[in-house]
Amino acid sequence: MSTDGFAVRTMRRQEVEAAVGWAEREGWNPGVSDAEAFYAADPEGFFIAELDGAPVGSVSVVNYSEAFAFAGLYILRPEYRNRGYGSRLFAAGMAHAGNRNIGGDGVLAMLEKYRTRSGFSLAYRNIRFEGTGGGNEPEGPVDIAAVPFEPLAAYDARHFPAPRPRFLAAWIRQEGTRGRAVLTEDGEIAGYGVIRRCHHGNKIGPLFADTPDVAEDIFLALSAQVPGEPVYIDTPEPNAAAVALARRQGMVPVFETARIYTKAVPGLPLDEIFGVTSFELG
């Protein structure tokens, strides 16, 4: 404990659940079961700030590999903001990543602060679209449960800056989640996507696909699982086909983030990334 009663420590599992609850109150609309998968990614990567023993803030910096980490869940209770606590909390979390390239999704208004505080630079914008589920499920996509996990994890790793098998295994199996994949005639994965129950409606993410047509089939298959309910998808703005898909399905933009990195922008195939997995964990 510091002399002013402020301290940062690693979260316990149940505290990650609480931090996801704070994210909901901030209006970020996380999944109702996200905490389990988040914690599986890196149990040492979640931090809680306390003042005289009472929780006042959170941040996550999840180490996916020796080269890459992702920061999120940066929340300070409103009454404790602008008092220097946020900077100390953020610095403690960033220290967990060491010399890794750190990614994040920040609000656009905070870009200058992220740049000056931790050296983050803008890569591109992500746009959250909102629509309504329903329609008929196309014939092509198959239930993700029928796809062997190893090739699924390998396909996922092509579209993310690091392999994340522990996270992925928990993510696709969390309660209220359904997944679909498209396979080629040779049985290779041509795309996959997941839709999960959120505090408000349902969110598609990730949605990775070799082509826009495959992405649309997966999108339609997932949307058909939740007729009449709100559906969200977070699209990288540089993928014009992803933005066009969302608009073609009658979705409207409701929120934006800035995808930022402390080092070089990873060389990912953005034209195959139609839906971001999570603003909190990348």
pLDDT per residue as tens digits for the range 46-103: 999 999 989 999 999 999 999 999 999 999 988 888 888 888 999 999 999 999 999 9
Q: What is the pTM of this model?
A: 0.95
Nearest to 73 by CA among 48, 97, 54, 52: 48
pLDDT per residue as tens digits for the range 196-215: 999 999 999 999 999 999 99
**Per-residue pLDDT at 216:** 98
Q: Which CATH architecture has domain 128-275?
A: 3-Layer(aba) Sandwich (3.40)
C-alpha distances out from residue 263 to 124, 204, 274, Å? 14, 28, 23
CATH class of the region 6-104: alpha beta
For the chain, residues with pLDDT lower than 50 are none
Domains 6-104 and 128-275 share a fold: yes
**Per-residue pLDDT at 104:** 96
Please state the domain extents for the chain: 6-104, 128-275
Question: In angstroms, rounded to a whole number, what is the distance separating the alpha carbons of residues 222 and 244?
Answer: 17
Question: In angstroms, rounded to a whole number, what is the distance separating the alpha carbons of residues 154 and 31?
Answer: 24
